[in-house]
């Protein structure tokens, strides 16, 4: 079949984006708004903030949680709280720009380390050779909610006395051997941005390993203010407001259903795309409760018949808007390009994955028929296109 014929057969009437938030029931949010209108308490640790912070801790099974206005400020504050404010931090180039940027803002040099070809996370076997006397911490990312090799990373951190701060922006609700993924490392950042699995419109949280750290973060996210006349640290404004907190409380009620729905859609994708020549699908890891936040595939251009960039463009003709998460690598940005660790020959796996990765649409309100149709499209494109 020609491309034109495929397009007229399979094209969606309306755009299918890579992600779409599942909205809380409007009348429930309206009830929360009425409460906020009555109290006129809009931010600064109000009733909704207190309720949400507590409920989130219970959901995660982690007692030390701080809510934030967004995940980036949370990560910025995490480094401040752990005094990671000079030297070098080993991190991944295969991430969202916020990850290396928070290092830059804290006057720390990122040192890019290559990734594992299956999990897309920092490859622990490659971390150790990058440790220098200047290294102060490791900042790994649980990419697409796949847990990093947390035991190996902790082993290296213990050996060299390094802090471990996880960017868990993708990892909400993920559990390893029955425990929250946020139980590993000194701190874990969660993002509640509108594109994420769990959202408060904008928002985020830090999960830390001690009450002492939580208290320090409470000061740092509120200008360092201890009371009306005492400022104990050079803090910032990282507070989550009452509307976001109210939204978050409602999201908590439906998050398990959201994950279950995405799991079904993931299984559908897998069953329909398995065996497509040139496509590599993710795998399940033993002992991990995944969150199914993303559906990434690797496109081997030669075997699939068209490369990732072409597939990305052609899918748009069908009104399917996939995303190249994460392309280009952060090591290619002008800010980081001159770093020796960012040179492409030192990051062969990350370079290839960034070239081949494509995230297909997945979200709780996506219909199974839509997933089936996206799979039909991808499979027909694989078959129809001449090898290049
Ligand atoms: C979304 C995201 C962030 C930033 O979170 P915000 O809440 O948008 O500030 C950081 N790291 C990764 C990996 C992300 O995907």
Q: Report pLDDT digits (tens) over 60-72.
A: 999 999 999 999 9
Burial 124-159, CB ≥16 within 10 A → b, else e:
bebbeebbeeebbbbbbbbbbbbbbbbeebbebbee
Q: Which residues of the chain have pLDDT under 70?
A: 384-388
Q: Which of 204, 228, 250 is the last residue of a domain?
A: 250
CATH number at residue 349: 3.90.1150.10
96 lines ligand 1 (CB under 6 A): yes
Identify whether residues 210 and 263 lie together within a single domain. no
Q: Which of 187, 221, 250 is the last residue of a domain?
A: 250
Evaluate whether 165 touches 71 at the Cβ level (below 8 Å): no
Identify whether residues 236 and 147 lie together within a single domain. yes
Q: How many A from CA of 99 to the centre of ligand 1?
A: 8
The pLDDT of residue 262 is: 98
Does 386 fall in a domain?
Answer: no
Residues of the domain holding 269 = 3-19+252-381
**Measured from the CA of 143, which atom of ligand 1 is nearest?**
13
Identify whether residues 72 and 49 lie together within a single domain. yes
Number of domains in the chain: 2
Q: Which of 195, 216, 250 is the last residue of a domain?
A: 250
Q: How many A from CA of 210 to the centre of ligand 1?
A: 23
The pLDDT of residue 282 is: 85
Identify whether residues 215 and 291 lie together within a single domain. no
**Measured from the CA of 195, which atom of ligand 1 is nearest?**
1
Q: How many A from CA of 386 to the centre of ligand 1?
A: 38
- In angstroms, rounded to a whole number, what is the distance separating the alpha carbons of residues 64 and 209? 7
Kindly report the protein residue whose alpha carbon is nearest to atom 8 of ligand 1: 193
Q: What is the reported pTM?
A: 0.97
Task: Please write the tens of the pLDDT for every residue from 301-324.
Answer: 999 999 999 999 999 999 999 999
Identify whether residues 219 and 246 lie together within a single domain. yes
Identify whether residues 12 and 77 lie together within a single domain. no
Task: Please write the tens of the pLDDT for every residue from 61-109.
Answer: 999 999 999 999 999 999 999 999 999 999 999 999 999 999 999 999 9
Identify whether residues 9 and 54 lie together within a single domain. no
Does 103 fall in a domain?
Answer: yes
Identify whether residues 39 and 149 lie together within a single domain. yes
- Give me the DSSP letters along 55-91: HHHHHHT-S-EEEES-HHHHHHHHHHHTT--SSEEEE
CATH number at residue 238: 3.40.640.10
């Amino acid at each position: 079949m020609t491309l034109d014929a495929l397009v007229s057969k399979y094209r969606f009437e309306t755009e299918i984006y890579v992600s779409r938030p599942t909205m809380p029931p409007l009348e429930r949010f309206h009830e929360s708004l009425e409460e906020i209108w009555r109290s006129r308490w809009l931010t600064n640790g109000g009733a909704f903030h207190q309720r949400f912070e507590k409920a989130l801790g219970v959901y995660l099974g982690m007692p030390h949680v701080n809510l934030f206005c967004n995940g980036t400020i949370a990560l910025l504050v995490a480094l401040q709280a752990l005094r990671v404010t000079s030297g070098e931090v080993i991190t991944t180039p295969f991430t969202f720009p916020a990850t290396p940027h928070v290092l830059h803002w804290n006057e720390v040099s990122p040192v890019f380390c290559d990734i594992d070809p299956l999990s897309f996370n920092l490859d622990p076997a490659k971390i150790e050779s990058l440790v220098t006397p200047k290294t102060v911490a490791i900042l790994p990312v649980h990419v697409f909610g796949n847990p990093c090799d947390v035991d190996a990373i902790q082993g290296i951190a213990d050996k060299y006395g390094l802090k471990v701060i996880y960017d868990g922006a993708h990892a909400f609700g993920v559990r390893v051997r029955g425990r929250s993924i946020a139980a590993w490392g000194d701190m874990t950042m969660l993002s509640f941005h509108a594109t994420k699995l769990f959202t408060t419109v904008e928002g985020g949280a830090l999960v830390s390993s001690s009450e002492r750290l939580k208290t320090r973060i409470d000061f740092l996210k509120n200008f360092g203010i201890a009371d009306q006349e005492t400022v104990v640290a050079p803090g910032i404004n990282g507070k989550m407001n009452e509307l976001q907190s109210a939204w978050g409380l409602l999201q908590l009620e439906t998050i398990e259903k959201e994950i279950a729905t995405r799991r079904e859609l993931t299984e559908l994708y897998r069953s329909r795309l398995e065996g497509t020549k040139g496509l590599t699908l993710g795998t399940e890891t033993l002992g991990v409760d995944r969150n199914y936040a993303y559906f990434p595939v690797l496109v081997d251009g030669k075997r699939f018949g068209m490369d990732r960039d072409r597939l990305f463009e052609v899918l748009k003709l069908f009104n399917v808007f996939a995303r190249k998460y994460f392309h280009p690598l952060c090591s290619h940005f002008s800010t980081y390009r001159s770093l020796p660790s960012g040179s492409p020959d030192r990051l062969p796996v990350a370079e290839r994955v960034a070239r081949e990765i494509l995230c297909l649409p997945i979200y709780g309100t996506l219909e199974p028929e839509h997933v089936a149709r996206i799979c039909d499209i991808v499979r027909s494109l694989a078959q129809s296109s001449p090898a290049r």
